[in-house]
Amino acid sequence: MIADVLVAVFLLATAATGTAVALTREPTRQALVLSAYGLVLGGLMVVLQAPDVALAQVAVGTAIVPLLVVLTVAKVNRELGDRDDGPEDGS
Amino acid sequence: MSRRRASRLLGVCGVVGAGALLLLALGDLPRLGDVPHPYAARAVPAALSRNTANVISSVNFDLRAFDTVGEEFVLFSAAVAALLLMRRFHDEEGRDRELGYGPRDVWSAVNLVGFALLAPTVMVALYVIAHGAVSPGGGFQGGAVLATGLHLAYLAGDYVVLQRLRPVAVFDVVEAVGAAGFVLLGMSALFVGDPFLTNWLPTGTLGELASAGMVELFNVAVGMEVASALVLLVAKFLDQALVVGRDGGDG
């Protein structure tokens, strides 16, 4: 009974955070929301008695993937910023 | 305009259709822990007969070890391809920026938590890899946690410490050794006259660290491969995002 409630709660939370990821448009923010979604998904896997998958999900889904997204955004922003400014030493 | 509306309509149809199909499929799923699945009914006795307490590890590294070889090389080739794409091109050589920030630019609370959690996380990761045959987790999970744990140094704001913690040249070798090690361990069965990937080692006592025979060795090989692949991947992203600059040295 309690297990059913827990599964229902985590399913709803997964749906809510998943929707939040889709509705967040700004990539850096989306990476952070994705991280929260990954944590909730990991919780869902734990209450569904799949701790193996939950471990990998939490490590990869909440840490590595958002980090890669944030780093990529940082790189792209800097490249674009550099291009807009043009060469510093004038020419 | 109309094209945009059409694509939006198509998107809505896709979402509603996929949702309806998923809901239909949901009704046919067996209830959680209800009906014994034919595969589970056979896998659990098979795992216990080889003294593997973690049945999932037994499936991954003994009963269906061949699938895991494929899975491991999917990860290996994906990581290698990504590393190749992000290698430094000629015009990026010698254009290292100075790091724009250090530990002092990070909140001291974040700094403290990052370094306080680093050693315990790495220990948990090694524990998860070592106990892959006994408790939930194993090479894949432990490797992922290990890679994540090392990057707590970066979270704490200390890229220099991170670079010392994970010498890229070492992880390069470890990744290859892990990937090749899995196959070589599998081939070791050939020398005792068994088929490829047979669990031919003595399986010990159920539930002890030294049990399950080859399962634990495979876990270690996969742990090395996964941890190194993720570390190298993040290292390339960090290198591109933090170090490589358009105009050399204008950190």
Euclidean distance between CA atoms A23 and B214, whole angstroms: 47
Contact B144 A72 (CB under 8 A): no
Instruction: Check: pTM over 0.80? Answer yes or no.
Output: yes
| B180 contacts B49 by C-beta, under 8 angstroms | no
Residue B247: pLDDT band (50, 70, 90) is low
Indicate the residue of A75, A83, A87 with minimum beta-carbon distance to B241. Answer: A75
Helices B108-130, B214-238: axis angle to 10 degrees equals 150
| B171 contacts B79 by C-beta, under 8 angstroms | no
> Residue B96 to residues A79, B93, B185, B244: CA-CA distances in angstroms?
14, 8, 41, 5
| B61 contacts B214 by C-beta, under 8 angstroms | yes
Higher pLDDT, B249 or B205: B205
Contact B136 A52 (CB under 8 A): yes
CA angle A60, A61, A67 (to 5 degrees): 80
Percent of chain A with pLDDT over 90: 43
Euclidean distance between CA atoms B92 and B165, whole angstroms: 25
Residue A59 C-alpha, separation from nearest chain B C-alpha, in angstroms: 5
Euclidean distance between CA atoms B158 and B108, whole angstroms: 12
The pLDDT score that the predictor gives to residue B189 is: 82
Residue B96: pLDDT band (50, 70, 90) is confident
Residues in B closer than 8 angstroms to A61, CB to CB, are none
Contact B136 A51 (CB under 8 A): yes
Residues in B closer than 8 angstroms to A68, CB to CB, are 233-234, 237
Query: Which site among A60, A65, A70 would you substitute to test the B interface, given the most B Cβ atoms closer than 10 Å to its Cβ?
Result: A60
Q: Could you give the 3-state DSSP secondary structure of residue B24?
A: helix
The pLDDT score that the predictor gives to residue B14 is: 95
Token pair listed for B159: 């890229």
| Mean pLDDT of the B111-134 span | 89
- Out of A58-72, B140-154, B198-212, least confident range: B198-212
Contact A52 B237 (CB under 8 A): no
Query: Which site among A55, A73, A82 would you substitute to test the B interface, given the most B Cβ atoms closer than 10 Å to its Cβ?
Result: A55
Give the tens place of pLDDT for each residue, A1-25. 788 899 999 999 999 999 999 999 9
Euclidean distance between CA atoms B105 and B43, whole angstroms: 53
Contact A72 B241 (CB under 8 A): yes
Chain A residue with CA closest to B251: the answer is A78
Higher pLDDT, B223 or B35: B223
Out of A68-82, B10-24, B36-50, B126-140, give the one with best mean pLDDT. Answer: B10-24
The interface residues of chain A toward chain B in range 72-91, judged by CB-CB distance below 8 A, are 72, 74-75, 78-79, 82-83, 87-88
Give the tens place of pLDDT for each residue, B229-242. 999 999 888 888 87
Nearest Cα residue to B237 out of B94, B133, B82 = B82
* pLDDT for residue A89 is more than 60: no
Chain A residue with CA closest to B223: the answer is A56
Euclidean distance between CA atoms B221 and B216, whole angstroms: 9
Indicate if ipTM > 0.85: no
The pLDDT score that the predictor gives to residue A90 is: 39
The pLDDT score that the predictor gives to residue A83 is: 61
| Mean pLDDT of the B47-64 span | 85
The DSSP call for residue B166 is S
End-to-end C-alpha distance for chain B, whole angstroms: 44
The pLDDT score that the predictor gives to residue B139 is: 84
Euclidean distance between CA atoms B153 and A1, whole angstroms: 42
- Out of B56-65, B75-84, B90-99, B169-178, least confident range: B90-99
